[in-house]
Structures are given as structure tokens and as C-alpha cells.
Amino acid sequence: MKTKEQYIESLRKMNFKLYMFGERVTNIVDHPIVQPSMNSVAMTYELAQDPQYEDLMTAVSSLTEKKINRFCHLHQNSEDLIKKVKMQRLLGQKTAACFQRCVGMDAINAVDSVTYEMDQQKGTDYHKRFRSWLKEMQENDWTVDGAMTDPKGDRRLSPSQQKDPDMFVHIVSENKDGIIVRGAKIHQTGALNSHQILIMPTIAMGPADIDYAVSFAIPADSEGVTYIYGRQSCDTRKLEGGEMDLGNARYGGHESIVILDNVFVPWERVFMSREYEFSGALVERFAGYHRQSYGGCKVGVGDVLIGAAALAADYNGANKASHVKDKLIEMVHLNETLYACGIACSCQGSPTASGTYLIDLLLANVCKQNVTRFPYEIARLAEDIAGGLMVTMPSEKDLRSPEIGHYVQKYLQGVSGIPTEHRLRILRLIENITLGTAAVGYRTESMHGAGSPQAQRIVISRQANYEAKKELAKDIAGILG
């Protein structure tokens, strides 16, 4: 397993083609806007080396019987699924941000079971290829970007009906050595902090979309891969030189557009090539795993936000007010409800044909449906408790100013004995999580990450088994036949 330092050095050796603010960025590792997100991923390596967290952060590989980072692990039982959620909560607590490795973990578990079933039905050898690559992932302790979301273009049209065929990643050509692909993946969490990209189709497909049913793995700095960095609220504060105004100066997340411009993929790294019948299963399983993930990571960040709100109440002198206490109770109630859903869908997991465990899809989608709502209320309550100063206070430079700093210290003092700077730091942290750069990994991502709310409702409807429920009602009501 890599150490934190080895992980960072491994990124230095890569040659990413990144554009930010219209300009090429050559030194990604030390860039002040990218670095906090890299620090979040580095935490997944750091905690795995700490004996205190070994049980959650590591596992024994089912392929090699070696100890590996849990982010590289295939779930072997419900206990693994539960530990995954607990690990994600821990990392959310440690970073108060998106730590980005979840998408790769969820992708490998989905691809593993689907390639096995594909081989069983089609006589292909995708599963063997995939597990060979997965062993490399485990041996090298790679961070993997699980890439599913395509631009989609006109949502009314299928991939093959789009005016521009590149709105979905597709096979352009093939030869005896491999395939050539073109297209893009968007909203790619942690892509620039990854060693490999694992591409998956984004929707269920029909026979006309055959060239779009493709899954493969490539190095993240492959020839023909270009990254365009996604903007975040308050992101240029990272270029100002201070740290207090960031709220969370050490950790963060990022998203990118990943462009694939005629990228070559050797056959040994191709895990689906036109088997359109299996695209829907791969999407559903990956989405299910990732919706389970939100019952851990968002809860960990919620723990930090609740703590920040409680401190804001202390520093404002409002901690004894009954309505403030009630708001904090409600925040805890909502946060723990999310966690309960993440644990529940894990406890109800079951093995797939490949032996890899799958969560209960209905409960995982219920978990994510709650995540589209509860963090918004938690954030609203935190903003309520914080007060208006959170969005009107002066900058860190004003606080440090020889001319006016004493005014900031004097007039923004809260409870006597609490340094004004402490009060301002906590308010900036709340701002960061609810409105700033961390909002991408908490507030807004809670809505659209792992699929928008309607996507979960579709799966909930599909998994609800209304007919069985009707029979239960008939039996109780005495309706025969």
C-alpha cells in the first residue's frame, strides 16, 4: 500500500493535459486550486497506514490474499459493505470535503459482477481481463476515476440519434490491437488526482446504440485525454495567499470535463465492447453502490457542519436558546437518518454470481433520495444558527490590517473570552461547506451526484414490488383470487 507521500510523488510523475481559466496548467500537484483536493485523496492513504483505522481502511484481497487499501477491494460480504460506509463517514469527518476515491471503488465492484455475467452468457473473456487489471490496481494502490456521466446532448434522443455522435463515448474503430474511442465524461470527481480512468456507459442502451456500449480502463494521462477544470464558488480565494477566508484551507474536491479524442485502448483493457444488453445492469449497479456511498461520506461532512454550527452558537452566546438546541437536534436527527439508510442497504446486501456483494438496491436508492433533501435542511439550519455575519464579514486581510484590524477585532467580538478570529474561522467553515468550494462535495452534489432525484425514484418504483404488496392487502381484506 502507498503512503501519503508516495501517492503525491506518483502524481508528479504523470503528464496530465489540464486547462484551467483558459490556460494550460503544467504543475498540477502544487497548484493552489488543485492541491486541497489532492490532500483529501492523500488522507485515504494516510489513514490506511494508521493502526487505529486499519480495520476500516484496509482489507484482505480476495484475489491475492494480501492486505490492500479498502478502496481497491471487492466486497465479499455484508460486513465489507458496512465497513465501507463507516470508512466513508470517517473520511468525511477528517476532510469535511469529497475525498474522491469512492467512484473508483464503486465502479470496480459494479464492473466485476457484470463482466462475469457477460462472460457466462456471451462466451467472452472480459471478466478475466478485468480481474487482471484489478490486480494491478490493488498492487499499485491506484486511485481510479470511475467515469460514467456523458454530456448526453439532447436528452430526448438516444446516443445513436444525437446530431453530434460524440455526446456519448463511443467506439470509432477497432483493429487487432484494440479500439479507438471518442467522446467526453463530465462532472468527473477527482479525475486529476487519479492514476487510472475506468469508463462505463451512462444509460441502458438498445441495438442501435451498439457502438456506445463500451467499458475500459486507461491511464489517466493517456495520449488524447484532455481535462478542463470545473469552477467552484469562491475558488479564486485559494490564489489570494491567506487561508482563513477559505474556511477549509487543507481539503477540498474537484470535478473536470474529461475529453477523449481518438484514444487508443488495448484489448486487454476493454471490458465491454458493444454488449449493449448489459449496459443497463452496469449503470444500475454502479449507481446503487454510489448511492450507498452517500450514506457515509455526506454524513461525515454533516458531522463537521453540525459541530461548526454548535460552535457558532457557543461563540455567538446563543447556545442556551431552546430554539437553537432544537435546530441542532434536528440536524443530528437528519444526519443519522442518512447514516441509517447507508447501513441498512449494506446489511441487506447479497452476493452476485461473481461472488462480489451487492447492496440492497431499493434501500440504496432510498438512501440517496434522502440525501437529495436532508443536507439542504442541515445546511439551512447551520446558516440560521450562524447568522448573517457568515456572508457579510470582512476578509482575513482586513482582520490582519494594522490600520483597521483592531476595529474588526472589537466590533465582531462575540462571547467575551473567545477570540474574534475563532468566531470568524468557524463562520468561514460553515460558509465553505454550505456555499463555497466544499458545497460542490456536500450541498449541490447531494442533489445531482450519483444521479439526480428522479433517477432514484425510477429505481424505487422498479424495485417496489407493488404486485406483492397488493397481494398482502388482498389477503388482509379477504379478497380471494
Active centre residues (catalytic): 98, 102, 189, 255, 290, 294, 297, 445
Transcribe 286-354 into DSSP letters: HHHHHHHHHHHHHHHHHHHHHHHHHHHHHHHT-TT-HHHHHHHHHHHHHHHHHHHHHHHHHHT-EE-TT
Residue 45 near residue 2 (C-beta atoms within 8 A): yes
Which residue, among 402, 396, 423, 420, has the nearest Cα to 410 in the 3D structure? 420
- C-alpha span between 276 and 298 (Å, rounded): 33
C-alpha–C-alpha distance, residues 207 and 159, integer Å: 11
Residue carrying the nine cell digits 475525498: 99
CB 328 within 8 A of CB 60: no
Q: Any residues with CB less than 8 A from the CB of 417 and at least 6 apart, and which?
A: none
- Reduce the DSSP state of residue 97 to 3 states and report it: coil
Using DSSP's 3-state secondary structure scheme, residue 251 falls into coil
The helix or strand, by DSSP H or E, that contains position 248, with its residue range, turns out to be none
Closest CA to 308 of 166, 440, 428, 396: 428
